[in-house]
């Protein structure tokens, strides 16, 4: 098996639960995405025997593995929190999607002008911060930690939505389909 030279770096990034995204502002990550794309069959065959399944979606790669029940519950709680965040972003800008750009300052200004957004931000559990701006900043940082946004411009604190956001979209579509099937 002829593995790419960057296999270790790919494994280290993905095994930490991170995504490798096509539109990342990080040049190294974009290169790792290209390497995964060019070597998908080889990498899948290499990682599978060690318990990691290389998965891909529209512009992103990640590892999936069997989770214990407590891990599943934690993951679902995290996804529910992300759903709250996404609803805030959609309320703020209906065009929120991959490659969308924005900053905590912009969201805080919008929340100041729109009481519904402000109330929604204040009601979210797990969002720290003393004032509205700090809460908005925490939302962006959480999206970044979870791999769905990246800080594109540290000076302006401007973030970009990564292609890994498609993972959430696909997940929510799957849940919707299951609900439709169960309801029928």
pLDDT tens, position by position, 131-153: 999 999 999 999 999 999 999 99
More confident residue, 74 or 44: 44
CA distances from 80 to 31, 83, 169, 171, 172 (A): 31, 5, 13, 11, 10
pLDDT 10s digits, 25-67: 999 999 999 999 999 999 999 999 999 999 999 999 999 887 7
pLDDT at position 184 is: 65
pLDDT at position 67 is: 74
| Closest alpha carbon to 148 in 169, 134, 127, 128 | 169
CATH fold of 69-179 reads Arc Repressor Mutant, subunit A (1.10.10)
């Amino acid at each position: 098996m002829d593995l790419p030279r960057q296999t270790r770096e790919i494994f280290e990034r993905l095994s930490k639960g991170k995504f490798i995204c096509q539109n990342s502002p990080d040049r190294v990550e974009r290169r790792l995405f290209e390497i995964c794309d060019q070597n998908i069959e080889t990498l899948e065959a290499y990682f599978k025997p060690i318990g990691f399944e290389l998965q891909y979606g529209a512009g992103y790669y990640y590892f999936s593995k069997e989770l214990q029940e407590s891990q599943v519950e934690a993951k679902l709680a995290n996804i529910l929190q992300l759903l709250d965040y996404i609803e805030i972003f959609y309320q703020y800008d209906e065009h929120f999607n991959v490659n969308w750009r924005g900053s905590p300052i912009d969201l805080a200004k919008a929340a100041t002008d729109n009481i519904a957004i402000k109330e929604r931000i204040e009601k979210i559990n797990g969002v720290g911060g003393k004032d509205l701006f700090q809460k908005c900043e925490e939302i962006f940082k959480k999206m970044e930690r979870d791999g769905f946004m990246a800080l594109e411009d540290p000076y302006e604190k401007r973030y970009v939505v990564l292609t890994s956001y498609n993972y959430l979209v696909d997940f929510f579509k799957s849940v919707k389909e299951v609900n439709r099937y169960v309801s029928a």
